[in-house]
A and B are shown apart, each in its own frame.
Chain A
């Protein structure tokens, strides 16, 4: 009889379904995975070490580059940790803006995650649908910060500036006639809030479209139901958070359980799965998109009615306005100090976490009272999720390993940091 041995397959680091630079060493018995050993660190940039040699404010843009699919949520955890250490009060309008953009980010992330999950399982159309809506939301990012993705919009003590009154518009081009152009710009005539409101009006129908393609689709169910099942005990033991934990039936959501900013004033539901498989997590994420849409609507309503400051007036932390700076000696000194030496954060340590789209994203600071953090630790959700890859993939087929990687919703920017 021929000798049958297991063999090893190198999955990635250059593989379209590896979601970045994952090198997965799979030990296979035929087409069945016996052991999965993820090798990470190919995108390691030592963000935490770099932060030790930069001032508190200089490291903020690095946060966008961690999880480059959900940018502002990482920024949020970062500024919240600094605010906790300094004891800064954030103006209420800034809190609403942050919550609104957190939820926009959540839709961005789930849109991307759903699109790529579909793509990995062979559903091309849903990918195109998802990216259509994603583009509109990236325009919101652009309107508010000037950058489509790496926004650097949040600041310790608030946000960089108030919401703009105009939206960027499409320009004339040889391939667009005047009527098309007018159509494309139809919802961009008003302010950013008008545009977001228009988006929240049509987005539920878009989610319906995704669901029509997938939820009752027989092939989709065959590829996802019973794949990568995580029982609740395992999910807790492995430190799962976010949709990965909720998909297993544990109703844990920081926005409800340990509310930060204004989440306790907003009305939304937490989606919970039952079986902990890929299909349930898909349903949880779809429902989260609908709930995020609800939150955004409430924020838009509130923001319309309540103008006000968007950043703290503590000029040891936030820069004074240009006018004040030119007219007042004290403010000039503050401005100079802030932009040369940077802010000083009192000695101590703080951990702040947000319910990011992928799970709990936390930032832990140790400050020794300097103008730079002594140690920064980023707690990224995908890092813990990927570490359970071996347990989740064991006994599944190779093609299902792809589905599991995708349902983990991993981004290597934050795993490797």
Chain B
């Protein structure tokens, strides 16, 4: 860890009492859903942290991670923060406690720019952000059913759409294309193909 990163890590530990994890030169801080809002507020307002810009919020569905049984919650929101003042970055991850109804508080009061990102995570993953004033779908079609980026949503979707000349309107029908996979997904064990001792 570079001294710069170490200093930020120490500051976070001192202010929040949480220890961030370092990998490839990036710090990741994991917080419980209950602390999420207060941590966000501190990260923005504390003079030594001042993460004044929210770069990105992204939903993640961990249900098939590593092709092994899941040990913890299914959905998470990952935030990328940037401090323009101190020139630092931080990743903040929060798991949604309930897999059936993923719910997190909205940070829209802290970073107003999160508006569309939360709408996107709601649209694609079904994560509900409590306190968001306008949680509509954003990327999918009007009247779309389901949350397409969940791992159990097939890549070809459930319905297809065509114009029906008899009814003189667009109709939805179940998809007719078969899902196909040309290159299968493989997770190799550690040190596969590496040097043998």
Interface residues of A in 261-298 (CB under 8 A from B): none
* With known contacts A49-B148, A384-B116, A369–B139 Cβ distance under 8 A: no
Shortest beta-carbon distance from A236 to chain B in Å: 5
On whether the beta carbons of A344 and B185 are closer than 8 Å, the reply is no
Say yes or no: is B26 at the interface (Cβ < 8 Å to chain A).
yes
Instruction: Place the interface of chain A in its size category.
Output: 35 or more
Shortest beta-carbon distance from B55 to chain A in Å: 6
Contacts of B183 in A (CB 8 A): 54-55, 58, 340-342, 371-372
| Cα A168 to Cα B181 with chains together (Å) | 38
Contacts of A348 in B (CB 8 A): 23-24
Which of B33-41, B107-115, B160-168 lies on the face that meets chain A? B107-115
Shortest beta-carbon distance from A415 to chain B in Å: 9
| Cα A379 to Cα B114 with chains together (Å) | 12
Shortest beta-carbon distance from A66 to chain B in Å: 14
Shortest beta-carbon distance from B61 to chain A in Å: 8
Per-residue CB contact flags for chain B residues 22-50 toward chain A (1 = under 8 Å, else 0) read 01111010000000000000000000000
On whether the beta carbons of A377 and B56 are closer than 8 Å, the reply is yes
Say yes or no: is A148 at the interface (Cβ < 8 Å to chain B).
no
Shortest beta-carbon distance from A238 to chain B in Å: 4
Contacts of B115 in A (CB 8 A): 387
Contacts of A340 in B (CB 8 A): 183
B65: nearest chain-A partner, CB-CB: A368
On whether the beta carbons of A388 and B113 are closer than 8 Å, the reply is yes
Per-residue CB contact flags for chain A residues 56-85 toward chain B (1 = under 8 Å, else 0) read 001000000000000000000000000011
On whether the beta carbons of A387 and B116 are closer than 8 Å, the reply is yes
Shortest beta-carbon distance from A56 to chain B in Å: 11
Which of B8-16, B96-104, B169-177, B186-194 lies on the face that meets chain A? B186-194
| Cα A40 to Cα B89 with chains together (Å) | 29
- Residues of A whose CB lies within 8 Å of any CB of B are 40-41, 44, 46, 48-50, 52-55, 58, 84-85, 87, 236-241, 250, 252, 257-258, 316, 337, 340-342, 344, 347-351, 353, 360, 362, 364, 366, 368-372, 374-375, 377, 379, 383-384, 386-388, 416-417
Contacts of B155 in A (CB 8 A): 46, 49-50, 52-53
Contacts of A384 in B (CB 8 A): 113, 116
| Cα A368 to Cα B65 with chains together (Å) | 6
| Cα A44 to Cα B148 with chains together (Å) | 12
Say yes or no: is B143 at the interface (Cβ < 8 Å to chain A).
no
On whether the beta carbons of A351 and B186 are closer than 8 Å, the reply is no
On whether the beta carbons of A366 and B60 are closer than 8 Å, the reply is yes
Shortest beta-carbon distance from A27 to chain B in Å: 14
On whether the beta carbons of B80 and A41 are closer than 8 Å, the reply is no
The 8 closest A-B pairs by CB, nearest first: A239-B113, A41-B139, A377-B58, A387-B116, A368-B66, A379-B56, A238-B113, A370-B187
B192: nearest chain-A partner, CB-CB: A344
| Cα A49 to Cα B151 with chains together (Å) | 9
| Cα A49 to Cα B156 with chains together (Å) | 11
* With known contacts A46-B148, A351-B80, A369–B187 Cβ distance under 8 A: yes
A83: nearest chain-B partner, CB-CB: B24
**Of A239, A364, A370, the contact of B54 (CB 8 Å cutoff):** A239
Shortest beta-carbon distance from A400 to chain B in Å: 22
On whether the beta carbons of B84 and A236 are closer than 8 Å, the reply is yes
Say yes or no: is B141 at the interface (Cβ < 8 Å to chain A).
yes
| Cα A258 to Cα B186 with chains together (Å) | 35
* With known contacts A257-B87, A364-B80, A416-B139, A237–B24 Cβ distance under 8 A: no
Contacts of B187 in A (CB 8 A): 368-370
Shortest beta-carbon distance from A54 to chain B in Å: 7
Contacts of A350 in B (CB 8 A): 23-24, 26
Shortest beta-carbon distance from B157 to chain A in Å: 9
**Of B58, B111, B186, the contact of A370 (CB 8 Å cutoff):** B186
| Cα A58 to Cα B182 with chains together (Å) | 11
On whether the beta carbons of A375 and B60 are closer than 8 Å, the reply is yes
| Cα A41 to Cα B66 with chains together (Å) | 30
| Cα A316 to Cα B73 with chains together (Å) | 34
Shortest beta-carbon distance from A93 to chain B in Å: 24
Could you pull out 14 A-B pairs where Cβ atoms are within 8 angstroms? A46-B155, A49-B155, A53-B181, A236-B53, A241-B53, A250-B84, A348-B23, A353-B55, A364-B56, A368-B67, A374-B65, A375-B58, A377-B58, A417-B139
